[in-house]
Amino acid sequence: MASVIIVGTQWGDEGKGKIVDYLAENCEYVVRSQGGSNAGHTVVVDNVKYKLRLLPSGILHKNKVCVIGNGVVIEPKIFLSEIDSLIEKKVNISNLRISDRAHVLMPYHKILDELQEEDLGENKLGTTKNGIGPCYMDKASRLGIRIVDLMNKEVFTKKLKFNVELKNKLLKKLYNHDGVNYDEILKEYLGYADRLRAYVADTTTILNKAIKEKKNILFEGAQATMLDLDHGTYPFVTSSYPAAGGACTGSGVGPRKIDNVIGVVKAYSTRVGEGPFPSELFDDVGQFIRDKGGEYGTVTGRARRCGWLDACVVKYASYVNGLDSIAITRLDILDELDKLKICVAYKYNGEVLDGYPADLDILSKVEPVYEEFEGWKTSTRDIREYDKLPENAKKYLKRLSEVIDTEISIVSVGAGRDETIIVKNIF
């Protein structure tokens, strides 16, 4: 039996969906514990591409219990659209469970998200405008509507009325917006409630019973460490806790019941939205990586900022998450490069920094200290054993492991489920 947390170690888009999909074969349960529909995972199975936003990647395996935990904020329209899309593709979703404690994302959350971002002007955060932040704001303010509330018509009606009145005051007085229609939202969401009801459960009890029964459980992270509300490059972060600790609070499973934490590391760096990015590339190499890697957002289609692999970020993520090992993804994207670099330290005012700076003014001015590597100039796509990787590729990976003081357990050399090298067994 093992309970394993998968976390992103950079700014997201590391390929967590691929790693979760691969490891789910050996699990009975797959859990999504935080975030919302702003978190896109792309998984390729039998040459079919699946773009998931709320559903755990394990849904693409038969007979896996897939859980959406209490830490997730759920937009019913998108959730049901995902379900319908999978049903069309003959994917079995009968084992899907939603926590009754998860919060519901409402139409006014999306409107507020867009208006607040516009109001920030030059100080904008680069939000996806999916309403995630305002929904978590309501949760923290104890004004939120949970799935369990949506299941109770009387409770939902009362809570919705209060929220609509409150939000309309804000929309009209602060933003000169017409506000939202209570009756329309009530009708729409009661319709969603009827369809959601079959999936709602006390998932905390389900998961803890599964652990007691010695089942293998995989906790699937959304976003990544550098977007964590506490530990990321604040304020250019998400509104939840993508670090390993968030998997515990977002699922109702205590930290002492976790056996293994795996950090997913893209073989280069990318970032979406605003905020400092020390190893960012603005040249032809950066554009090559973007085009070769298809570095455009799953949800938004936005071009991702690309750069050299930043080991300072990954080392910090190893501290924060207590990583047992790392899974390297997208190594194949670098196959054609003549030279590669890894950022192994930051210099500020001529001195090497110890740790990862919280001060974004400092972070925006640091000088990356690079180590250069010879490229391997050959395809890695068909390699399935670590020892058979090109020597220069192994040197590149070994140096990353040394800098972050964390061993490598998986290397991914393509998007397909089979394009995976297992260095160390997880289950």
Set 13, 113, 228, 332: catalytic member: 13
Q: What is the dihedral of CA 239, 240, 244, 248, to 10 degrees?
A: 170
Q: Among this protein's residues, is 109 annotated catalytic?
A: no
Q: Among this protein's residues, is 41 annotated catalytic?
A: yes
- In this structure, are strands 325-329 and 260-266 parallel, antiparallel, or unpaired? parallel
Set 41, 61, 103, 231: catalytic member: 41
Where in the sequence numbering do the catalytic residues fall?
Answer: 13, 41
